[in-house]
């Protein structure tokens, strides 16, 4: 089993949540908003490249837009394999968390 890194998991969840609006900047902004942590473009695009290579997301070109000087956005979509990877990492994390004795982790 090849588990996702935390960055890959975070980016995959952002792609899933954003649906048809999943492109680099929207993914970055979504992650920053949901985590409260500043992310760089590299922290977003490096995992995206790996996820495309692994077949967990697809990358397609959108339509050119005037706001981008006529350049097209790269859009990302979760694949069936990506969805499976998310379910698997959640299963593993749930299993690990339930193994922690109650009261060990307190605030």
pTM of the model: 0.87
Domain count along the chain: 1
Which positions ≥6 away from 59 have C-beta within 8 Å?
48, 52, 74, 75, 76
What is the CATH number for 24? 1.10.10.10
In a domain, 23, yes or no: yes
Residue 99, in any domain of the structure:
no
List helix spans (H) across 24-104: 24-35, 41-54, 80-98
Mean pLDDT in residue range 71-95: 94
Q: Is the pLDDT of residue 14 over 70?
A: yes
Residue 104 lies in a domain: no
pLDDT category at 12 given cuts 50, 70, 90 is very high
- On whether residue 17 sits in a domain, the answer given is yes
Does some domain include residue 105? no
- pLDDT, tens digit, 9 for 90 and up, residues 21-77: 999 999 999 999 999 999 999 999 999 999 999 999 999 997 777 766 667 889 999
Say if 34 falls within a structural domain.
yes
Q: Which domain holds residue 87?
A: 6-93
> Residue 62 in contact with residue 72, Cβ under 8 Å?
yes
Please give the pLDDT value at position 68. Answer: 63
């Amino acid at each position: 089993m090849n588990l996702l890194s935390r960055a890959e998991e975070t980016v995959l969840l952002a792609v899933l949540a954003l649906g048809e609006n999943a492109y680099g900047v929207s993914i970055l902004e979504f992650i920053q908003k949901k985590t409260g942590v500043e992310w760089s473009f590299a922290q977003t695009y490096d995992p995206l490249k790996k996820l495309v290579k692994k077949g967990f997301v697809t990358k397609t070109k959108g339509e050119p837009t005037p706001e981008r000087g006529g350049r097209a956005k790269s859009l990302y979509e979760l694949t069936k394999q990506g969805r499976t990877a998310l379910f698997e990492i959640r299963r593993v994390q749930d299993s690990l968390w339930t193994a922690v004795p109650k009261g060990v982790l307190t605030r």
